[in-house]
Amino acid sequence: MRMDYKNGCLLCGAELVYLDAPQEMECALCHRTFMADAQCENGHFVCNECHAGGAIAVITEICRQTDNRDPLELAVEIMRQPSIHMHGPEHHVLVGSVLVAAYRNCGGEVDLDRALAEVARRGQQVPGGVCGFWGCCGAAVSAGMFVSVVSGSTPMKEDEWGLSNLMTSAALRKIGEIGGPRCCKRDSFIAIQEAVAFSAEHFGVQMELPAHVSCEFIPLNAQCIGRRCPFHPAKG
């Protein structure tokens, strides 16, 4: 039975345990078999698709309807929704989606419905845990997807191809400089901030940002890095 805890295992709330090597596991929800890197302390494994669940639809619908010009404020609004967990691959869709929506609301030329659908499609291909296992945080990749989508980049483009990779690298550098362990909220905030600056510089579209972000999700994160985080309330 799915209990859908906000943090940890969706079924029981226990902490995740990351394995030294991938193992074949059955998803406790859809019962399909995957090679997986983690399970909870009680042995439950939930695949990326089931973990994101209805979160993708929630992200897309809010971004489709919003007139918010501040992607970070919009991200926090979405993160408060019950279907968005403290950590999880839904953030790989969330970052690019809020950026596309705010970009359009600030005058950027983009087909919103098509762009949101494409960010959702691409973002769902980035599995959970890539920050540690691939050395490439999914929040940063999602910011790169935003640039790719609004610029029309493909593997054969020139300037657009370069911009997409520069966006991802700018976000990754800031994320990596702080260090781990992972926090999907912190990394998403950083990626969004970097993307706002990038959009203004390269596209001439100035999205809005709050003067300061004070993270409200600390109680949900057992691995919070405290005052090392630029969004810790003590930094306000």
The answer to whether residue 236 is domain-embedded is no
Same domain, 116 and 183: yes
Residues 81 and 105 in one domain: yes
For residue 236, is pLDDT > 70? no
Tell me how far apart the alpha carbons of residues 82 and 88 are, in angstroms, rounded to a whole number. 13
Residues above pLDDT 70, as percent of the chain: 97
pLDDT band of 1, cuts 50, 70, 90: very low
User: pLDDT tens digits for 131-161?
Assistant: 999 999 999 999 999 999 999 999 999 999 9
Peptide linkage before 22 cis (omega within 30 of 0): no
Note whether 5 and 90 are same-domain residues.
no
The answer on 140 and 189 residing in a single domain is: yes
CA 8, 46, 56, 123 torsion: positive or negative?
positive
CA dihedral sign, ordered 162, 163, 169, 170: positive
Indicate whether 30 and 80 sit together in one domain.
no
Are 41 and 63 members of one domain? no
C-alpha angle 176-128-192 in degrees, rounded to nearest 5: 50
Q: Which residue has the higher pLDDT, 10 or 120?
A: 120
Determine the Cα–Cα distance for residues 156 and 224; give it in Å rounded to an integer: 41
Residues 175, 76, single domain; the answer is yes
pTM, 2 dp: 0.88
Q: Are 75 and 188 in contact (CB under 8 A)?
A: yes
Q: Compute φ and ψ for 69, nearest 5 degrees.
A: -100, 0
Question: Is residue 103 pLDDT above 60, yes or no?
Answer: yes
State yes or no: pLDDT of 7 exceeds 80.
no
Q: Do 76 and 134 fall within a single domain?
A: yes
Place of tokens 């439950």: 44
Does a structural domain hold residue 14?
yes
Residue 5: pLDDT band (50, 70, 90) is low
* Number of structural domains found in the chain: 2
Instruction: Give the pLDDT of residue 82.
Output: 87
Residues 58 and 42 in one domain: no
Domain assignment present for 105: yes
Same structural domain, 102 and 208: yes
Are 2 and 101 found together in one domain? no
Report whether pLDDT(9) > 90: no
For residue 235, is pLDDT > 80?
no
In this predicted structure, what is the pLDDT of residue 130? 93
Domain of 11? 1-46
pLDDT of 51 over the 90 cut: no
94 and 119 share one domain: yes
In a domain, residue 233? The reply is no
